[in-house]
A and B are shown apart, each in its own frame.
Chain A
Amino acid sequence: MKITFKVNGEPVTMDVKPNELLINVLRDKLKLTGTKYVCGIGECGACTVLLDGEPILSCLTLAVDVNGREVTTIEGISKGDELSEVQEAFVEEGAIQCGYCIPGFIIMGEYLLRIKQKPTEDEIKEYLRGNLCRCTGYVNIIKAIKKASELKISKTK
């Protein structure tokens, strides 16, 4: 089946099988390998991408379902070499260890800070509870989201 959609602002058209998963299209066909495959059953959040601005799990989403829509992956978060506030805060707060879960966390962080400018700690936990990390114990991830929120607010002032 032929589908057309936008990835990180660029239009793409390709043939996909009806059962083909979005993650495989992103990783294998478009070589956007920043999105990670971890559990394959929607338990870990590592493969999270934005679809028309809403977070979805690319390991559970059929490629045909993104036809005519817009996908944003981790590669589409920075502006060239310029890090987004969320990315900058993850680097500075020591929130990154092995890094395998990080693209999923950053995508969720971007989404959260777009809908809530200054989330409470409880809200941060609520929005990130579907993302697993085995290295950091999550402490610095929470710090990073708070810091990113401050950075964003200070930039808009």
Chain B
Amino acid sequence: MCGLREALPEDVTSLITLTLSFSGFEVFKLKDLLIYSCLSLLWLSTMSDTSVGPEHLISKWLEAKEFLVVGKSVSRIDALSKALGTAKYTEDYLMSEALFIKQVLSPEPHAIIKSVDVSGALRIPGVARVFTASDIPGINQVGYALPDQPLLAERKVRYVGEVVALVAASDYEKALRAAEEVRVGYEPLPHILDPLEAMERSDVLIHEEAGSNIAFRTKVRKGDVVEGFSKSDVIVENEYRTHHQDHIYLETEAALAIPDMEGRVTIIGGIQYPHLARDITAKVLGIPSSFVKVVVPYVGGGFGGKDDEGPLAAAKAGLVAYLTKKPAFILYSREESIIIHPKREAAIIRYKSGASGDGKLQAIEVTIIHDTGAYANRSPFILWRATMHSSGPYEVPNARVDGYAVYTNKVYEGSFRAFGNASIQFAVERQMDQLADKLGMDPIEFRLKNILEPGKYTVTGQLLDHSVGVGDAVRKLAEVSEWRRKYEEYKKFNKASDRFKRGIGIGVAWHGISTSRGVPDWSNSYVKIEKDGSVTVFTGITEIGQGSPTSSHIQIVCELLGVSPNHVKVVFGGTDAPDAGATHASRGTSIGGIGVLVAAAKLRERLVSLAASMLNVSPEDVVLRDEKAQVKNDPTRYVSWKDLVKEAMSRGVELSATGYFFLPKGKFDDTVGQGFAYPAYSYIAIVSEVEVDTWTGQVRVLKVWPALAAGRIINPQQVEGQVEGAVVQGMGYVLMEQLIFDEKGRILNPDLTDYVIPTIRDIPEIAKPVYVEDVFKYGPFGAKGVGEMALIPMPATLSNAVANALGVNVTRLPLTPENILKLLGKVRG
């Protein structure tokens, strides 16, 4: 563990190692990993030379011009059962014989655990057992990026809400009473809530073994920033602050574990990556991964939160079921959910940028500090993403960026739609507006002078060779939103209006697709055609509301095999399906769908050549559609799909296939933060109009115009749903959502009365998105990621619009009425 820490962050292999460890593998030796990485790159380079590999199939469909169902608004198949109320979520599988689990939480932010007395709890009739760290048969270590986090607190606690023990009882009320009877003796230690203080202090260490409160560092060194600033005619420098956000998925974390189903510990849970939940549970139980099965039914929202907490809930239920040999059920109360699970990063960003008189960015100098909280969790990855996106989607010749993930005694940082990118794009885009203002240029014109295009280099020195439609997206957006006219009109409006001020703003953002650098990423799926011609698809991608396995995956199969959607069953979200990676990072369709496409394409090639021989034509002249294989240009000559399948079975044509694709990556040098960061980027720009009531401080968002350069749009209806949902979730973050911490770092508003999210009354008008389909060479039909995109520029676009309305500098979120009045100097802040 110490050796691993010492290797950070300089070693290029370190994060590969970390990721493998977070994927559930044991940590490899660094040397082995170097060899592994080289070998896999070598293997890939030989693969790409052949025409039979998955890349060939992917590129064949990338070039398709006409589609049967791709690009059409198809209703998702799960909508029906969800409308009927018959769709099953974790809690709906609860069995009456299951033990209820209640968690015992630390009331202390930082303390030594002196004693745990469970005798009082055990005296309550119906209480089966109380579990602490010492009961864990395997390894009490669940840290994703760094091995710093126990499942159940060991020796000390590091935030208010840390789970110290689990109580299992025959019903909920007994478990609740027993949890209150568990007596934990704490010896309080000094605690630190402010990341800036934590960085400076070495007398109070949240993780002694780390030797510092800095959990992780990142950097970018490009060109010479001193020279860059000397060439700059205008320079803007600010410190930005962003705050935590809770996911508030309507379904809280839940898991039901059954101790011996099919000879395995089987867990049904709200999880975003079943294979990761399985591997973590197996590690905690000390049994092989293949002896744990995870099933993910419908999930009532994830947004990243169930990528972090889902596996931990699974491991807790798994532990109780495994040790008691009885089914065990855990369901977080809303209060527990908010207190325990990781949050969107709270960041401090110091940003200096300069541009020359001709409107060209010359240099950026950025320090990013993340209030990581008690455990690193995924914060090294979140910080890494923030650092490598710190220029925004612009070309910058000189950059110096330093990132710090800093431990504090608060709830820890985790995955949340945008993954470190909403806060940094907020800083970037506030800077861009202020530079434009100093240059006397229109904000959009200034952005377009610097915007990334094919052939340009990113802040990490990566050459962008394709799929960069952001410039076109911004230009089209300026047109449809009538940016220029409104920009001038609101100046007049504000002169005439005393109380209400109107403003317009833009936020442009980019988001790397797939894992970063050489970190392995793959897609994997298994597709089979049944005797009756129906098709079964197996994927580890889960259904968390985004709809990829219930819409785009089906469209891919229908497009390739010409079957009806009613004959396609996608079995999703379980560990008995191939590991398709996590349902996070906007990858459900863009990466998850590749395996489905490759497997279906393999089956198609086999069946088309069979049909060609039956119809006496060449395979190029066979079309699969309407459950038929028909001759192109002569639809009267055909074989029905069912007959084709029957014939295939009688002739020994294999009717099942795996679709596996390992994404090609490039080299990255972590010592200077330069090199290949991501295989492609999705881009988004959002223009927003706001009206601010200067008497009350209330900000009303009038209208929002999104423009997306996210490759092929496979299902416009589902994409619009993602965009609209992300706009409103982002608006909530900027204008109303806020966690309140007391002096011990305790969250004071862990319920839906005091943590306020947008209602139907708060939403703005949202225009139909502008699409620039800048296809991605490895995506299914060229699709890139969509799910997170519209949230990313929301802090940027809304704060720019508010700054435009009020003529003030906005550097802090949230823009609550109180904070708006502070900005106006009407209350003291």
Interface residues of A (CB under 8 A from B): 27-28, 32-41, 43-44, 46, 73-75, 77-78, 83, 87-88, 90-92, 94, 96-103, 106, 124-126, 128-142
The reply to whether the CB of B753 lies closer than 8 angstroms to some CB of chain A is yes
The reply to whether the CB of B123 lies closer than 8 angstroms to some CB of chain A is no
In the complex, the answer to whether B545 meets A135 with C-beta atoms within 8 Å is: yes
7 CB contacts below 8 A, A to B, read: A33-B91, A41-B752, A99-B298, A99-B545, A100-B251, A102-B85, A134-B303
B759 nearest CB across to chain A (Å):
5
Which residues of B sit under 8 angstroms from A142, Cβ to Cβ?
760
Which residue in chain B gives the minimum CB-CB distance to A87?
B83
In the complex, the answer to whether B76 meets A96 with C-beta atoms within 8 Å is: yes
Contact of B86 among A34, A46, A88, A141 (CB under 8 A): A34
A-B contact count (CB 8 A): 164
A136 to B790, CA, bound (A): 12
B538 nearest CB across to chain A (Å):
22
Given the known interface contacts A36-B300, A41-B751, the answer about A99 and B84 at a Cβ–Cβ threshold of 8 Å is: no
B354 nearest CB across to chain A (Å):
37
Which residues of A sit under 8 angstroms from B753, Cβ to Cβ?
41, 43
Which residues of B sit under 8 angstroms from A133, Cβ to Cβ?
250, 760
A106 to B78, CA, bound (A): 16
Which residues of B sit under 8 angstroms from A141, Cβ to Cβ?
760
Q: Is the interface of A mostly helix, strand, loop or mixed?
A: loop
The reply to whether the CB of B727 lies closer than 8 angstroms to some CB of chain A is yes
A13 nearest CB across to chain B (Å):
20
A122 to B544, CA, bound (A): 30
Which residues of A sit under 8 angstroms from B96, Cβ to Cβ?
28
Which residues of B sit under 8 angstroms from A78, Cβ to Cβ?
84
Which residues of B sit under 8 angstroms from A28, Cβ to Cβ?
94, 96
Most buried by B among A28, A36, A131: A36
Task: Kindly supply a per-residue 1/0 record for chain B positions 87-115, scoring 1 wherever the CB is within 8 Å of any chain A CB and 0 otherwise.
Answer: 11101101010000000000000000000
Which residues of A sit under 8 angstroms from B718, Cβ to Cβ?
94
The reply to whether the CB of B487 lies closer than 8 angstroms to some CB of chain A is no
In the complex, the answer to whether A132 meets B85 with C-beta atoms within 8 Å is: no
Which residues of A sit under 8 angstroms from B721, Cβ to Cβ?
94, 97, 135-137, 140
The reply to whether the CB of B82 lies closer than 8 angstroms to some CB of chain A is yes
Give the residues from 690 to 705 in chain B that come closer than 8 angstroms, CB to CB, to chain A: none
The reply to whether the CB of B132 lies closer than 8 angstroms to some CB of chain A is no
A111 to B671, CA, bound (A): 62
Which residues of B sit under 8 angstroms from A73, Cβ to Cβ?
85
Which residue in chain A gives the minimum CB-CB distance to B765?
A139
B533 nearest CB across to chain A (Å):
24
Which residues of A sit under 8 angstroms from B725, Cβ to Cβ?
97, 134-137
Task: Kindly supply a per-residue 1/0 record for chain B positions 716-758, scoring 1 wherever the CB is within 8 Å of any chain A CB and 0 otherwise.
Answer: 0110110011111100000000000000000000011100011
The reply to whether the CB of B230 lies closer than 8 angstroms to some CB of chain A is no
The reply to whether the CB of B119 lies closer than 8 angstroms to some CB of chain A is no
Which residues of A sit under 8 angstroms from B248, Cβ to Cβ?
132, 134
Count of chain B residues with a beta carbon within 8 Å of a chain A beta carbon: 56
Which residue in chain B gives the minimum CB-CB distance to A90?
B83
Contact of B87 among A41, A90, A99 (CB under 8 A): A99
In the complex, the answer to whether B729 meets A99 with C-beta atoms within 8 Å is: no
A97 to B250, CA, bound (A): 12
In the complex, the answer to whether B85 meets A34 with C-beta atoms within 8 Å is: yes
Given the known interface contacts A39-B752, A134-B757, the answer about A100 and B89 at a Cβ–Cβ threshold of 8 Å is: yes
Which residues of B sit under 8 angstroms from A90, Cβ to Cβ?
79, 83
In the complex, the answer to whether B79 meets A36 with C-beta atoms within 8 Å is: no
A124 to B75, CA, bound (A): 23
Contact of B250 among A38, A74, A130 (CB under 8 A): A38
In the complex, the answer to whether B751 meets A98 with C-beta atoms within 8 Å is: no
Which residue in chain A gives the minimum CB-CB distance to B546?
A97
A106 to B85, CA, bound (A): 10
In the complex, the answer to whether A134 meets B85 with C-beta atoms within 8 Å is: no
A133 to B545, CA, bound (A): 11
Which residues of B sit under 8 angstroms from A77, Cβ to Cβ?
84-85
A55 to B223, CA, bound (A): 64
Which residues of B sit under 8 angstroms from A137, Cβ to Cβ?
721, 724-729, 763, 766
B712 nearest CB across to chain A (Å):
18
A86 to B766, CA, bound (A): 23
Given the known interface contacts A41-B752, A100-B251, A137-B763, the answer about A83 and B84 at a Cβ–Cβ threshold of 8 Å is: yes
Which residue in chain A gives the minimum CB-CB distance to B547?
A97
Which residues of B sit under 8 angstroms from A99, Cβ to Cβ?
78-79, 82, 87, 298, 300, 545
A20 to B86, CA, bound (A): 24
A106 to B82, CA, bound (A): 10
Which residue in chain B gives the minimum CB-CB distance to A130?
B759
A100 to B90, CA, bound (A): 11
Which residues of A sit under 8 angstroms from B328, Cβ to Cβ?
none
The reply to whether the CB of B299 lies closer than 8 angstroms to some CB of chain A is yes
Which residues of A sit under 8 angstroms from B83, Cβ to Cβ?
83, 87-88, 90-91, 96, 102, 106
The reply to whether the CB of B333 lies closer than 8 angstroms to some CB of chain A is yes
A32 nearest CB across to chain B (Å):
8
A75 to B717, CA, bound (A): 27
A132 to B300, CA, bound (A): 13
The reply to whether the CB of B249 lies closer than 8 angstroms to some CB of chain A is yes
In the complex, the answer to whether B546 meets A92 with C-beta atoms within 8 Å is: no
A44 to B252, CA, bound (A): 13
Which residues of A sit under 8 angstroms from B177, Cβ to Cβ?
none
In the complex, the answer to whether A139 meets B724 with C-beta atoms within 8 Å is: yes
In the complex, the answer to whether A98 meets B544 with C-beta atoms within 8 Å is: yes
A98 to B252, CA, bound (A): 13
A133 to B547, CA, bound (A): 16
